[in-house]
Amino acid sequence: MKIGVYGGTFNPVHSGHVKLAEAYLKGLELDRMLVIPAKTPPHKRVAHLASGADRLAMCRLAFPGTEYEVSDLELNRPGEKSYTVDTLEELNRRYPGQELYLLTGSDMFLTLDQWHESQRIFQLAVMCVGEREPHLQERLKTKARELEALGARCRVVQLEPLVVSSTQVRDRVERGEPLTGLVPPQVEQYIQAHGLYGNGDTSGPF
Ligand code: ATP
């Protein structure tokens, strides 16, 4: 079985994430995909970080299909940081003998060799990246060759760009603007119902 491992902050999950997951399922012929919200974003400070429970709930609404499993594995792990290597070790124990495919964005793929225990990551999973910016394609291919020289297995998947980010979604909520087309409708309803991202709140960004 081929299992995709899709981590992110998902603050909130948006239609770009859903489209990316669909492209990976098809492009890599995956049997399943694990969607794993991170506890704290390792490299960035985020205004309005919704609780783990809210981010999990929104991911479950955005990924209802049986091929997806939204996992609280990182949110429930003790400790402040979520290391990808720990997640992959855990999945390797849970799914022995299955092939794991780590799905990364281009920004992350370009720095993979600097990640904590990158050599072990390369043993545990196939490194996958979606090409969405045409000007990055050559850089990603060159990087894939570099990583392969270090022992990684790499796959580059073609993507149709969908210009949306969680930052944009949070900004629109704060300004009271509609989210039509940017997040699945059930996620928009959840954000409104739970008053997330400063939706009508004046308590400041953190
Ligand atoms: P933020 O705006 O808060 O930085 P984000 O929109 O980049 O968030 P993340 O949860 O950090 O969302 O992203 C998880 C993964 O999804 C990353 O690998 C990222 O590159 C990828 N991703 C995010 N937005 C898109 C998009 N529009 N199309 C394809 N991939 C995306």
Q: Give dist(CA 167, CA 82) in Å, integer.
A: 21
Tell me: pLDDT of 154 over 50: yes
Q: For the chain, count helices (H), then strands (E).
A: 8, 6
- Residue 41's pLDDT is 53
Q: Give dist(CA 178, CA 169) in Å, integer.
A: 9
Contact 136, 106 (CB under 8 A): yes
The band of 48, judged by pLDDT with boundaries at 50, 70 and 90, is confident
The band of 45, judged by pLDDT with boundaries at 50, 70 and 90, is low
Q: Using the mean position of ligand 1's atoms as its centre, give its distance from the Cα of residue 108 in Å.
A: 10
pLDDT digits (tens, 9 = 90+) for 75-114: 999 887 778 999 999 999 999 999 999 999 888 999 999 9
The rounded percent of the chain whose pLDDT value lies above 70 is 93
37 lines ligand 1 (CB under 6 A): no
For ligand 1, atom 15, which residue shows the shortest CA distance? 8
- Residue 203's pLDDT is 44
What is the average pLDDT value for the chain, to the nearest integer? 91
The band of 204, judged by pLDDT with boundaries at 50, 70 and 90, is very low
166 lines ligand 1 (CB under 6 A): yes
Give me the mean pLDDT over the 16-34 stretch.
96
Q: Is the dihedral of CA 170, 174, 177, 178 positive or negative?
A: positive
For ligand 1, atom 17, which residue shows the shortest CA distance? 105
Instruction: Say how many C-beta atoms besides its own lie within 10 A of residue 147's C-beta.
Output: 20
Query: Domains in the chain, please, with CATH?
Result: 2-194 (3.40.50.620)
List all residues 6 or more positions away from 168 whose beta carbon is below 8 Å from its beta carbon. 182
48 lines ligand 1 (CB under 6 A): no
Name the residue with tokens 């012929």.
29
Give me the mean pLDDT over the 138-156 stretch.
96
